[in-house]
Amino acid sequence: MPAVGGIGPGSGKEYLGNLTPFVTVTCIVAAMGGLIFGYDIGISGGVTTMTSFLQKFFRKVWEKKEADKSTNQYCQYDSQTLTMFTSSLYLAALLASLVASIVTRKLGRKLSMLFGGLLFFAGALINGFAKAVWMLIVGRMLLGFGVGFANQSVPLYLSEMAPYKYRGALNIGFQLSITVGILIANVLNYFFAKIKGGWGWRLSLGGAMVPALIITIGSLVLPDTPNSMIERGQTEEAREKLKRIRGVDDVDEEFRDLVAASDASKLVEHPWKNILQRKYRPHLTMAILIPFFQQLTGHYVIMFMLLVLFNTIGFGSDASLMSAVITGVVNVAATLVSIYGVDKWGRRFLFLEGGVQMLICQAVVAACIGAKFGINGNPGDLPKWYAIVVVLFICIYVAGFAWSWGPLGWLVPSEIFPLEIRSAAQSINVSVNMLFTFAVAQVFLTMLCHLKFGLFLFFAFFVVLMSIFVYYFLPETKGIPIEEMSQVWKSHWYWSRFVEDLDYPNGGLEMRKKGQVPKNV
Ligand code: BGC
């Protein structure tokens, strides 16, 4: 029986090519597309705690907050209106990613990135000058559309552009940008909140124009991927581009596989209908379960707990900065670890190690919070050693997420779909991610209020499930060219029953012996 993790790395072809300065710079620029998503995650949480912002747009929420003298820390933050404002972006992103699937496939990855940048820019502009709630909402929708386009196209772009041996590291540049964006936004929020006159929130929201400009300009100067150029009939230009990207003249083998994958892709008229075919069952499963599990790790919730803790200890207005900077720095540092290790240790190792690490931390944090905050959510005076232990375990959790499910939740889907369904499947990935980001954000404060410290155990249960899933069902994809990925399913103990040799009669999707020319080229 084939191994649980599928075939081992290195059993695929050896395409010629180097990690050229051209491809490195291209991928760094493209990865900056993650900045808009990260900036928004960081900025929106902080802005909705600024008094002047609440007084102007959400007066009722502010009055309720002022009147609330409850000591129950579990229920302090529960406001459906505010959460709805923040998470409306995710619904817009969900819709946009579906449209982006067509743009990305028919017009290229670059154009989707450009739309992402422009829409996000428009949203930031409207939000920065907002005078009424409707402007905030329209702005947020546009921001969401921008994120939907960017998250649909950037990971695909990176995975197609990168030499396969460095694909993991280059792709995780996207997650690195997300985490850097979050960190910058949080620090900016802190300082903008202190601006006299209470208009700092305008700078926070309007500041999103900067990352928007970065991806917009980036998308104008970046080349399109050879895969996408071939798919759109620019075959000869694509060969030249591939030579430039790989830094060698002999790109024949890779080029033939790209053409073969594109031929297979042209046979598929309706990627959305096709994806339901039996042979794409492994891909569809991953496109749904990976983003679902990523959000059900509960990363959002445990980071939030740090804020609650710092507020309780009495850091006052510095609580949010402190918690955000601590988690932000750990997030960035751990993402760098992932960049270093993902092509050495593989995806499965990081997924499984990260899972165990998050599980242990969730159990410890649940026990600590349960012991002091109890059922009524009033911890009284917290000893210093206690706070240190909780902060430490939250940080270890954050590191675990940031080198496993965080980046891999974007990397793995972007590298496993065959070209003919790649764009549609990536849209499913983004939509499911956004749907569950929305769902978790929308219900978790209410859940915290009711489940109390038990909420961590709720998410711990999912971490167990996802780790079992990875162990049995996710094959290793490190070191395998993306147009050769069919081999990992064919040799997998479970998925091989869905994917038969005949399913992929065309080149790149079928393993051939080195140098053998496919019939259709
Ligand atoms: C996730 C987000 C998360 C971010 C930062 C991304 O990969 O999709 O939900 O907020 O990482 O941790």
pLDDT digits 0-9 by tens, 216-255:
999 999 999 999 999 889 999 999 999 999 999 989 989 9
> Pocket residues for ligand 1 (CB within 6 Å)?
41, 175, 178-179, 294, 299, 331, 406, 409-410, 433, 437
In angstroms, what is the span from residue 481 Cα to ligand 1's centroid?
Answer: 26
Residues 6+ apart with CB under 8 A from 18: 163, 246, 247, 248
Whether the full predicted model's pTM is greater than 0.75, yes or no, is yes
> What is the Cα–Cα distance from 4 to 389, expressed in whole angstroms?
37
CA 338 to chain centre: 14
Tokens of 278: 């039996």
For the cut 60, the answer to whether the pLDDT of residue 520 exceeds it is no
Contacts of 308-314 spanning 24+ positions with Cβ under 8 A: 308/73, 308/76, 308/77, 309/382, 309/387, 309/390, 309/391, 309/394, 311/73, 311/76, 312/73, 312/379, 312/382, 313/382, 313/387
> What is the Cα–Cα distance from 446 to 462, expressed in whole angstroms?
19
Residue matched to tokens 């919070």 = 369
Tokens of 204: 């926070």
> What is the Cα–Cα distance from 236 to 255, expressed in whole angstroms?
10
Q: According to the model, what pLDDT value does residue 511 have?
A: 37
Ligand 1: atom nearest CA of 299 is 12
Q: Which has the closest alpha carbon to 499: 295, 241, 285, 245?
A: 285
State which of 86, 152, 175, 339 you would mutate to test the pocket of ligand 1, scoring each by most atoms of that ligand within 8 A of its C-beta.
175
Q: What are phi and psi of 404, to 5 degrees?
A: -125, -95
Three-state SS for 476?
coil
Percent of the chain at pLDDT > 70 equals: 93
Residue matched to tokens 């509960």 = 298
Q: Which CATH superfamily is domain 21-224+268-497 in?
A: MFS general substrate transporter like domains (1.20.1250.20)
Nearest CA to ligand 1 atom 2: 406
In angstroms, what is the span from residue 493 Cα to ligand 1's centroid?
Answer: 31
Q: According to the model, what pLDDT value does residue 282 have?
A: 97
Residues 6+ apart with CB under 8 A from 233: none
Tokens of 42: 């960081």
For the cut 80, the answer to whether the pLDDT of residue 76 exceeds it is no
Ligand 1: atom nearest CA of 182 is 5
Q: Which has the closest alpha carbon to 9: 479, 514, 343?
A: 479
| Cα→Cα distances 467→135, 166, 247, 440, 488, Å | 43, 25, 39, 20, 19
Asked if residues 156 and 415 have their Cβ atoms less than 8 Å apart, the reply is no
Q: According to the model, what pLDDT value does residue 373 have?
A: 87
In angstroms, what is the span from residue 445 Cα to ligand 1's centroid?
Answer: 18
Residue 108's pLDDT band (boundaries 50, 70, 90)?
very high
